[in-house]
Amino acid sequence: MIEVEIINQSAFDLPAYATGGAAGLDIRANITEAIVLSPLERQLIPTGLFVAIPLGYEIQIRPRSGLAFKHGITVLNTPGTIDADYRGEIKVLLVNLSNAPFSIEPGERIAQMVLAKHETLSWKTTEELPSTERGAGGFGSTGVK
């Protein structure tokens, strides 16, 4: 378990795991009145949360499967990345992909956050890459439907 410093300026509890085996912590809309997302509308939803992520980690913001399946509400830039050196408020870019308006209520669980380790790379320029069986085959080239 990794300890991450957090400031909670919201009116709601800290992000929490819904179950013991959950990978993501549910985060809530820090709003005082409902926000209605019309079909195909997107909005940045405040959370009131500020974090200090350790170097070598990021927090990924991901959709909640229930909102996506039941209402067509998802995170537009999935997964959104919160970098270790960012100190501003975490906001969630939600979009309504359904054909009906959706009301986001104060304190509603709108997304989940996952702490993820990442590597930093350095480039090694070359004139040729090692060959593979797949080669340059891209979109749909593996024949899997």
Q: What is the pTM of this model?
A: 0.88
Kindly state whether residue 138 falls inside one of the protein's structural domains. no
Kindly state whether residue 130 falls inside one of the protein's structural domains. no
Kindly state whether residue 71 falls inside one of the protein's structural domains. yes
Rounded-to-10 torsion of CA 19, 112, 50, 60 = 120
User: Which domain CATH number covers 79?
Assistant: 2.70.40.10
Kindly state whether residue 136 falls inside one of the protein's structural domains. no
- Domain interval for residue 99: 5-117
For residue 144, the model assigns a pLDDT of 62
Peptide bond into 79 cis (omega under 30): yes
Total number of domains in the chain: 1
Kindly state whether residue 125 falls inside one of the protein's structural domains. no
Kindly state whether residue 142 falls inside one of the protein's structural domains. no
Kindly state whether residue 127 falls inside one of the protein's structural domains. no
pLDDT digits (tens, 9 = 90+) for 37-92: 999 999 999 999 999 999 999 999 999 999 999 999 999 999 999 999 999 999 99
